[in-house]
């Protein structure tokens, strides 16, 4: 008789990919927030409650990213194991975000971040490969706990994937090493890249703060426009999950070119360039570094 697969629910597509990498053939994974979806503003559907009720494992990011999920898990009477993927990472608080960076622009943008955010900590931890290695270990531990019979498979899959992440990390660092640090300043629509910034020494300016559910004010946008001009920022980027009119306005008013689209909080569909976590990080790195050259 074939093994029955373990039903796992992941809160959003990036986590779903990591669960698939570690779980391999032993799991079926359902992402609540699908490709190109915005986990910040998601409203659960009735089918989501069914998926959660049937799941043996629910994998969430944590740090308040999925504010809508605890209620869903409660109403679905979830009885399985919950894994908080970022448990044990070195978190950035919103006060640290960009404030202690070397770049004048980042220091200025600090003041206006603090009025719209998830909580004290920045939840976008997956934009650091170092952090995702911890995500993978937490997912591995959760799967081994729920399905000890296949523990050695989960260990093997996790180990193989961690080696790929090590290679990815080296590739990213190598690409940015070619660009002078003073040139590594870009604008994105919402503040999802502070962990990326910390690891790879790229300064990100964002008019919208860390959550997409708060509108950037005209003053926020004007401030960014001034920074772009003062700091000679070369590129501004649109994101796959946000309304990009604001970025287009900044580009028009400053002459900074739109450097492309970044995948911040969700994977892309299978025919787009960011259909897995590793592809997403490779694509974002190439897109950013090409625009800065």
**What is the tens place of the pLDDT at every residue in 16-73?**
999 999 999 999 999 999 999 999 889 999 999 999 999 999 999 999 999 999 999 9
- Does residue 208 register a pLDDT over 70? no
Q: Examine the domain organization and report whether 27 and 141 are in the same domain.
A: yes
Asked if 7 contacts 55 with a C-beta cutoff of 8 angstroms, the reply is yes
Which tens digit of pLDDT belongs to each residue from 211-265? 666 676 788 778 888 888 888 888 888 888 677 788 888 889 989 888 888 999 9
Chain segment 128-148, per-residue pLDDT in tens: 999 999 999 999 999 999 999
**What is the average pLDDT score of the chain?**
87
Q: Which domain holds residue 50?
A: 6-90+124-164
Q: Is residue 106 part of a domain?
A: no
Give the model's confidence band at 153: pLDDT under 50 very low, under 70 low, under 90 confident, else very high: very high
Same structural domain, 158 and 17: yes
Choose between 210 and 72: higher pLDDT: 72
pLDDT at 241: 67
Q: Which residue has the tokens 């074939």?
A: 2
Q: Choose the weakest-confidence range: 95-99, 153-157, 231-235.
A: 95-99
Angle at 69 between CA 43 and CA 204, to 5 degrees: 80
**152 lies in the same domain as 212:** no
What is the model's pLDDT at position 114?
37
- Residue 93 Ramachandran class (φ > 0 left, ψ -120 to 50 alpha, else beta): beta
Higher pLDDT, 72 or 192: 72
Determine, yes or no, domain membership for 16: yes
Share of the chain above pLDDT 70, in %: 87
Rounded to an integer, the average pLDDT of 101-109 is: 39
At which of 113, 139, 164 does a domain end? 164
Whether 7 shows a pLDDT value over 70: the answer reads: yes
Tokens found for residue 280: 């997403």
Say if 102 falls within a structural domain.
no
Same domain, yes or no: 34 and 156: yes
3-state secondary structure 187-239: EECCCCCHHHHHHHCCEEECCCCCCCCCCCCHHHHHHHHHHHHHCCCCEEEEE
Quick check: 6 pLDDT over 60? yes
Domain shared by 142 and 48, yes or no: yes
């Amino acid at each position: 008789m074939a093994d029955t697969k373990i039903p796992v629910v992941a809160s959003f597509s990036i986590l779903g990919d990591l669960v698939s990498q570690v779980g391999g053939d032993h799991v079926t994974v359902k992402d609540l927030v699908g490709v190109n979806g915005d986990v910040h503003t998601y409203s659960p559907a009735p089918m989501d409650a069914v998926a959660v009720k049937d799941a043996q494992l629910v994998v969430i990011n944590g740090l308040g990213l999925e504010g809508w999920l605890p209620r869903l898990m409660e109403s679905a009477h979830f009885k399985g194991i919950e894994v908080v993927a970022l448990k044990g990472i070195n978190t950035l608080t919103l006060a640290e975000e960009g404030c202690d960076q070397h770049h004048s622009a980042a220091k200025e943008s600090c003041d206006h971040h603090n009025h719209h955010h998830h909580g004290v900590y920045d939840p976008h931890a997956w934009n650091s490969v170092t952090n995702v290695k911890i995500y993978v270990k937490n997912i591995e531990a959760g799967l081994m706990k729920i399905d000890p019979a296949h523990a050695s498979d989960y260990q093997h899959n996790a180990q193989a994937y961690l080696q790929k992440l090590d290679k990815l990390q080296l590739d990213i660092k190598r690409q940015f090493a070619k660009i002078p640090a003073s040139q590594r300043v870009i604008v994105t629509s919402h503040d999802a890249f502070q962990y990326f910034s910390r690891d790879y020494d790229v300064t990100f300016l964002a008019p919208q703060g860390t959550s997409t559910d708060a509108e950037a004010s005209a003053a926020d946008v004007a401030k960014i426009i001034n920074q772009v001009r003062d700091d000679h920022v070369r590129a501004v980027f649109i994101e796959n999950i946000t309304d990009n009119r604001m970025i287009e306005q900044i580009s028009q008013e400053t002459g900074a070119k739109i450097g492309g689209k970044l995948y911040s909080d969700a994977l892309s569909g299978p025919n787009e360039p960011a259909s897995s976590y590793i592809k997403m990080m490779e694509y974002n790195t190439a897109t950013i570094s090409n625009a800065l050259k």
